[in-house]
Amino acid sequence: MAEPLTILGIETSCDETAAAVVRWRGSDVPGEILSNAIFSQIEDHAPFGGVVPEIAARAHVEHLDGLIARALKDAELGWDDLDGIAATAGPGLIGGVIVGLMTAKGIAAARGLPFIALNHLEGHALTVRMTEALPFPYLLLLVSGGHSQLLVVEGVGRYRRLGTTVDDAVGEAFDKVAKLLGLGYPGGPAVERAARDGDPSRFPLPRPMRGRPGYDFSFSGLKTAVRQVAESLDFLTDRDRADIAASFQCAAADVLSDRAENAMALASETIPPGHRRLVVAGGVAANMLLRERLMVSAHACGYEFVVPPLNLCTDNGAMIAWAGAERLALGLTDPIDAGPRARWPLDPDAAPARGAGVKA
């Protein structure tokens, strides 16, 4: 049996300040979350309808030290009980990333502990190994405010991207639609709440990329179509908002399911039958309709459907601590001068995305 590793993880890539302590006991058994402290900045950003980077960075500075102390207290551990420190080094809002990264470096240097500079997306990608000890390989649909990707997860640090968005991420589209309809922030939960009372068939919105070969996504045209529908109505009633939200959510689910089905067909060529699992991770994975639709698609393609618990879909320190532990167990650490990255692809060898809306 492997020697256990106890890791402190720090996450500050966007608008959640988080610190957690996780214990790793081997790659073939679930991890143990000893603590998972999160401070949400929703109230700070709600007046602006989205995340303001400067406000986010200042909130991280204000709350991170207290959260780290709380994570250790909740875990009933001291500094001497830790085997390493992991922190998000990117991708994300660079000011926030710097706050967490520099804090982790200071702790690692002061305590003489191994330091792991984590790709935030790797934290999402490996969460199901912490909760269910899922073996490699598996197919991953990563959906969040900044990312929509399909990847084959072949091992720690080994990710083969099949497709990505050529314009907006699906989470960004949810946020923009919520803002357009005046539903509040954060946009994903707001759209989902409004859609529960809506008619998804009232507005015939487009399904970009559906039915085409390939594995890429596009959500810019869908977002524009929602704006055009809203502007065509003289006055938006609560019924209009609910119906538009439901129509948008249904269209997004159709697109995600279609792209995932294409990817499952391709991945079946390299993923053996016993490993055919579709994992959905990232903040958008908390949407229940999307979960249900993707589960149906997975089962139709002969795949098991796996998704983390709701509280581990959105950004959290436990996923960073776990990914750090997986890396440390393999002897993968980082120098203390590892720098922050605003952009950091999981698959650096993937061909650049192509499309009129591709962002630099």
The 10s digit of each residue's pLDDT in 177-194 is 999 999 988 899 999 999
Task: Show Cβ contacts of residue 300 under 8 Å, excluding neighbours closer than 6 positions.
Answer: 261
Is the same domain home to 290 and 250? yes
Count the helix, strand and coil residues of the chain and give each as a percent rounded to the nearest 5. 45, 20, 35
Is the same domain home to 268 and 319? no
- Could you say which DSSP state residue 346 is in? S
> Quick one: pLDDT at residue 356?
45
Is the same domain home to 65 and 192? no
Cα–Cα nearest to 119, from 279, 330, 320: 320
Q: Please state, in angstroms and rounded to a whole number, the distance separating the CA atoms of residues 112 and 53.
A: 32
Q: Is the peptide bond before 114 cis (omega within 30 degrees of 0)?
A: no
Average pLDDT, the chain: 94
Cα–Cα nearest to 360, from 346, 347, 348, 342: 342
Instruction: Answer yes or no: is 244 within a domain.
Output: yes
Asked if pLDDT for residue 360 goes beyond 50, the answer is no
Q: Which of 181-190, 237-246, 311-320, 348-357 has the lowest mean pLDDT?
A: 348-357
Question: Taking the C-alpha atoms of 172, 318, 10 and 63 in order, what is their torsion angle to the nearest 10 degrees?
Answer: 80
Q: How far is CA 17 from CA 43, 62, 277, in A?
A: 13, 10, 31
> Quick one: pLDDT at residue 172?
93
Q: Domain containing 251 — which CATH number?
A: 3.30.420.40
Instruction: Answer yes or no: is 360 within a domain.
Output: no
Q: How far is CA 126 from the centre of its chain?
A: 11
For the segment 249-303, what is each residue's pLDDT rounded down to a tens digit?
999 999 999 999 999 999 999 999 989 999 999 999 999 999 999 999 999 999 9
Asked if pLDDT for residue 357 goes beyond 50, the answer is no
- Could you say which DSSP state residue 52 is in? -
Q: What proportion of the chain, given as a percentage, has pLDDT over 90?
A: 86
Q: Are strands 5-11 and 16-24 parallel, antiparallel or unpaired?
A: antiparallel
Instruction: Answer yes or no: is 53 within a domain.
Output: yes
Asked if pLDDT for residue 337 goes beyond 50, the answer is yes
Instruction: Answer yes or no: is 153 within a domain.
Output: yes
Asked if pLDDT for residue 25 goes beyond 50, the answer is yes
Q: Please state, in angstroms and rounded to a whole number, the distance separating the CA atoms of residues 209 and 336.
A: 43
Given pLDDT bands bounded at 50, 70 and 90, which one contains residue 99? very high
Asked if pLDDT for residue 133 goes beyond 70, the answer is yes
Q: How many helices (H) and strands (E) does the chain have?
A: 10, 10
CA atoms within 13 A on the CB side of 98: 9
Is the same domain home to 148 and 30? no
Q: What is the mean pLDDT of residues 13-17?
A: 92
Is the same domain home to 163 and 273? yes
Is the same domain home to 300 and 320? no
Q: What is the mean pLDDT of residues 304-328?
A: 96
Instruction: Answer yes or no: is 340 within a domain.
Output: no
Is the same domain home to 57 and 177? no
User: For the chain, how far is it from start to end, CA to CA, in angstroms?
Assistant: 46
Range of the domain at 90: 5-133+315-329
Given pLDDT bands bounded at 50, 70 and 90, which one contains residue 353? low
Asked if pLDDT for residue 226 goes beyond 50, the answer is yes
Q: Please state, in angstroms and rounded to a whole number, the distance separating the CA atoms of residues 32 and 23.
A: 5
Given pLDDT bands bounded at 50, 70 and 90, which one contains residue 1? low
**Would the pTM count as exceeding 0.85?**
yes
Is the same domain home to 298 and 319? no
> Quick one: pLDDT at residue 79?
97
Helix (H, G, I), strand (E, B) or coil at 180: helix
Count other C-beta atoms under 10 Å from residue 235's C-beta: 5
Is the same domain home to 233 and 305? yes
Is the same domain home to 244 and 208? yes
Q: How many domains does the chain have?
A: 2
